């Protein structure tokens, strides 16, 4: 179930990579075994720390992709060609390797079922990761047959990717949406749409949000995650007093 952040100072833990599965040509999901993991809430992240032979260390944040209900902790990492840490996580690391991390971190960008909905998620690129944790959490909490519970908590995802092959969790999102009419997934492809693509083919803009977002009168819970320019553009459109 949803766990509160532990009331202790946060510590580094040693996780073991259970498996590493490609999601797209440039992203990979690492499933981890983390002894003593205290549980997390959807939307939280971990800090990962790598240590070289000579003691040099590099630290980066990665959102948790798995739902709190899942038995393994999953991270999905996108490879940046000239990056320091992401090429290591997406290429070098393999099952059985150890990985130092600490978490869960962040009590602000979190959602769980009791917070309620409607839930409007807007993501760009690997910004889908914490949103996926929310979608998975929603799915595991609301019993498959419970139409009523799902109707009370509808969710919509507006997800911007460069191309169709770069859509992270593409099949899983399609499968979830297919069996759950209260989950809508809307893609926009900014660069290379496949032949015959009829969906959005541009960056997320006001007109798209007007079309996809719930009206403000429905009191949606909105979570936006992605590169800073996308987040700022969306947030300034969906303005609300802070």
Partner 1 sequence: MTPISRGFRGRRQPEGAAARLPPGQYETRDFPVLSAGPTPRTPLSVWDLTLRSPDGQSARWTWDEFVALPREKITVDIHCVTKWSKFGTSWEGIAIDTLISAAAARGVKTASYVMARSDGGYTTNVPLADLTNGKGWIAFNYGDAPLPPEHGGPARLLVPHLYFWKSAKWVRELRFMENDTPGFWESLGYHNYGDPWREQRYAGDE
Partner 2 sequence: MKKTTKQSRARSAAGDRPVDSLRLDGNAAAGMLREVFVPDLTAGRAKCAGCGTTRSIGALHVYSHGMGMVVRCPACDGVVLRVARTPTRVWLDARGAISIVISGEN
Ligand X SMILES: Cc1cc2nc3c(=O)[nH]c(=O)nc-3n(C[C@H](O)[C@H](O)[C@H](O)COP(=O)(O)OP(=O)(O)OC[C@H]3O[C@@H](n4cnc5c(N)ncnc54)[C@H](O)[C@@H]3O)c2cc1C
> Do 34 and 100 contact (CB within 8 A), yes or no?
no
DSSP class of residue 237?
A: H
The region of 53-61, 116-124, 130-138, 193-201 touching partner 1 under the rule CB under 8 A is: 53-61
User: Measured from the CB of residue 218, what is the shortest distance to ligand X in angstroms?
Assistant: 28
Position among 47, 70, 100, 184 found at the interface with partner 2 (CB under 8 A): 47
Site string for partner 1, 87-116 (x = CB under 8 A): -x---x----xxxx----------------
Confirm or reject binding of residue 226 to partner 2 (CB under 8 A).
yes
Our CB check for ligand X shows the closer of 62 and 200 to be 62
Q: Residue 91 class from Cβ within 10 Å (0-12 exposed, 13-18 middle, 19+ buried)?
A: exposed
Among 68, 154, 193, 220, binds partner 2 (CB under 8 A): 220
Cα separation of 21 and 58, whole Å? 23
- The three-class DSSP label of residue 49 is strand
C-beta separation of 199 from 186 below 8 A: yes
Q: How many CA atoms lie within 13 A of 220 on its CB side?
A: 20
Which partner from the list partner 2, partner 1, ligand X, none does 18 bind, CB cut-off 5 to 8 Å by kind?
none
Among 76, 128, 130, 168, binds partner 2 (CB under 8 A): 130
Quote the least distance from Cβ 98 to partner 1, whole Å: 5
Radius of gyration of the chain (CA): 18
Cα–Cα distances (Å) from 21 to 27, 35, 53, 78, 137, in that order, read 9, 21, 26, 12, 21
User: Does the protein bind partner 1 through residue 242 (CB under 8 A)?
Assistant: no
Min dist. Cβ of residue 102 to partner 2 (A)? 7
Binding footprint of partner 1, residue count (CB under 8 A): 18
Region of residue 20 (left: phi > 0; alpha: psi -120 to 50; beta: else): beta
Query: In Å, how far from its chain's centre is CA 130?
Result: 3
Distance CA 136, CA 21 (A): 18
52 binds partner 1 (CB under 8 A): yes
By a kind-dependent CB cut-off of 5 to 8 A, residue 221 interacts, out of partner 2, ligand X, partner 1, none, with partner 2
Among ligand X, partner 2, partner 1, none, residue 205 binds (CB under 5-8 Å by kind): none
- Using the rule CB under 8 A, give the single segment among 54-62, 184-192, 201-209, 228-236 that binds partner 1: 54-62
Q: Smallest Cα–Cα separation from 186: which of 219, 208, 154, 162?
A: 208
Site string for partner 2, 69-108 (x = CB under 8 A): -----------xxx-------------------xx-xxxx
């Amino acid at each position: 179930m949803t766990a509160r952040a532990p009331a202790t100072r946060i510590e580094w833990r040693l996780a073991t990579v259970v498996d590493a599965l490609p999601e797209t040509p440039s992203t990979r999901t690492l499933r981890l075994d983390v002894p003593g993991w205290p549980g997390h809430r959807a939307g939280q992240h971990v800090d990962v720390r790598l240590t070289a032979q000579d003691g040099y260390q590099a630290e980066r944040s990665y959102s948790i992709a798995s739902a709190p209900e899942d038995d393994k902790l999953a991270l999905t990492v996108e490879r940046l060609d000239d990056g320091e840490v992401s090429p290591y996580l997406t290429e070098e690391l393999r099952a059985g390797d150890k990985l130092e991390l600490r978490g869960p971190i962040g009590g602000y960008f979190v959602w769980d079922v009791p917070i309620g909905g409607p839930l409007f998620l807007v993501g760009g690129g690997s910004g889908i990761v914490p949103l996926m944790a929310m979608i998975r959490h929603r799915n595991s909490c609301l019993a498959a047959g419970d139409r009523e519970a799902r109707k009370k908590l509808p969710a919509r995802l507006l997800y911007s990717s460069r191309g169709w092959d770069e859509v992270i969790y593409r099949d899983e999102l399609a499968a979830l949406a297919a069996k759950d009419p209260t989950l809508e997934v809307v893609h926009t492809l900014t660069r290379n749409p496949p032949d015959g693509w009829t969906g959005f083919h541009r960056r997320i803009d006001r007109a798209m949000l007007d079309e996809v977002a719930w009206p403000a009168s429905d009191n949606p819970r909105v979570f936006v995650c992605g590169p800073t320019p996308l987040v700022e553009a969306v947030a300034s459109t969906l303005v609300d007093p802070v």
